[in-house]
Amino acid sequence: MRLRDELLKRYPNARFNDTDRILAGDELVQFLRGHEKAITGLDRLDERVFSAVPELRLVSKYGVGLDMIDLDAARRHGVSIRWTPGVNRQAVAELTIAFMIALSRQLVPLAAEMRDGQWRQPGGRQISSAVIGIVGCGHVGQEVARLCRAFGATVIAHDIRAYDEFYRAHGVTAVDLRTLLARSDFVSLHVPLDSSTRGMIGGREIASMKPTAYLINTARGGIVDEVALKAALIDGQLAGAAFDVFATEPPADRELLHMPTFLATPHIGGSTEEAVLAMGRAAIAGLDASPESIDLTAEIASPKI
């Protein structure tokens, strides 16, 4: 309600989607018609939508994921897409750390066993002695690196961009993807989903990881081949994995979800109270082209998350 009230103060005639559903197709077109500005979250904006709503001039993005917006179509139709990067980075980074601890100490299966009356004391490992590999060292990846370094971990990173100043300041070593996968005890993904990252972690990449390693995805579904991941977990090629995001949400592969070495959450990375307020306020400010937001239709390089 707080964000709703804040938006109504700026735009008293604002219309809200109160269905608790993601709008698509004709329903989304009908909702947007007659409006020059809109805030969208997971609604898919493509050529059809932009063509059907020519009066739409500006879209402000709630959250950081952009795979549901066709930026080329927006440019063709003269629609400005405003986006504020890194607005939920702390929330996502903290969930990533929670995944690391939960996996390495078997917190979830052990808690379930204790409820059933069992008492088992397996080993585990500390983050402080681990090599953490971060794939994608933008806003979220950098925050994960800071937190891991605070634990005393060795942090290596791979990104298509050069973050040399950050790496020097925080003791992070830049490596190629092959080296990162081979060396890391935890591989944590923090890249956007686009044509260059879709399926970037497949069977071959998973096979190159240590059998004692863990794979974490709090970025976007579709980056990892989930079929290959399940096969690797079944065969013991990986010690475990934790995902907050899936190619299809909610995921339909119940076998994967019930695997004892797999930990899943329902896309909650940016769902903390603090992150929701920050993302909402950034989206509201983006309607007025705030200096913190970026006009993606004017951007040439791929944005970092």
Q: Model confidence over 233-250: pLDDT tens digits?
A: 999 999 999 999 999 999
1's CB contacts (< 8 A; 6+ apart) are none
Q: Average pLDDT in the 171-185 region?
A: 98
Q: Model confidence over 117-174: pLDDT tens digits?
A: 999 999 899 999 999 999 999 999 999 999 999 999 999 999 999 999 999 999 999 9
Give the pLDDT band of residue 292 (cuts 50, 70, 90). confident
Q: With 80 as the cut, is the pLDDT of residue 293 above it?
A: no
Same domain, yes or no, for 76 and 93? no
Same domain, yes or no, for 16 and 156? no
Residue 241: DSSP 8-state: E
Angle between helices 107-115 and 89-104 (to 10 degrees): 60
Encoding tokens for residue 178?
């092959």
Give the pLDDT band of residue 297 (cuts 50, 70, 90). confident
Same domain, yes or no, for 110 and 241? yes
CA distances from 48 to 76, 81, 222 (A): 12, 16, 23
- Round to whole Å and give the CA distance between 72 and 79: 10
**Is residue 77 in some structural domain?**
yes
Same domain, yes or no, for 119 and 83? no
Same domain, yes or no, for 223 and 75? no
H or E element, residue 189:
strand 186-189
Catalytic residue chosen out of the listed positions 82, 89, 267, 281 = 267
Q: Is 274 a catalytic residue?
A: no
Q: With 90 as the cut, is the pLDDT of residue 190 above it?
A: yes
**Is residue 303 in some structural domain?**
no
Mean pLDDT of the chain: 93
Which of these, 217, 218, 198, 215, lies nearest to 268 by C-alpha position? 218
**Count of Cβ atoms closer than 10 Å to residue 250 Cβ:** 9
Q: With 70 as the cut, is the pLDDT of residue 299 above it?
A: no
Q: With 70 as the cut, is the pLDDT of residue 305 above it?
A: no
Q: Domain count of the chain? A: 2
Catalytic residue chosen out of the listed positions 36, 249, 255, 299 = 249
Catalytic residue chosen out of the listed positions 158, 220, 226, 281 = 220
Give the pLDDT band of residue 85 (cuts 50, 70, 90). confident
Give the pLDDT band of residue 303 (cuts 50, 70, 90). low
Same domain, yes or no, for 65 and 109? no
CATH for 199: 3.40.50.720
Q: Is 75 a catalytic residue?
A: no
- Round to whole Å and give the CA distance between 283 and 189: 25
Q: With 60 as the cut, is the pLDDT of residue 258 above it?
A: yes
Q: Model confidence over 205-225: pLDDT tens digits?
A: 999 999 999 999 999 999 999
Angle between helices 139-151 and 89-104 (to 10 degrees): 50
Runs of H (alpha helix) within the chain: 2-10, 25-32, 47-52, 71-76, 89-104, 107-115, 139-151, 164-170, 177-183, 203-207, 226-235, 254-257, 273-286
Q: Is 220 a catalytic residue?
A: yes
Q: Model confidence over 130-143: pLDDT tens digits?
A: 999 999 999 999 99
Same domain, yes or no, for 122 and 244? yes
Give the distance, in angstroms, between the CA of residue 290 and the centroid of all CA atoms in the same chain. Answer: 23
- Please report, as a single letter, which amino acid is at residue 37: K
Q: Both ends of the chain: CA-CA distance in Å? A: 27
H or E element, residue 154:
strand 154-158
8 Å CB contact between 138 and 85? yes
Q: Across 22-31, 34-43, 147-156, which has the greatest mean pLDDT? A: 147-156
**Domain interval for residue 158:** 89-264
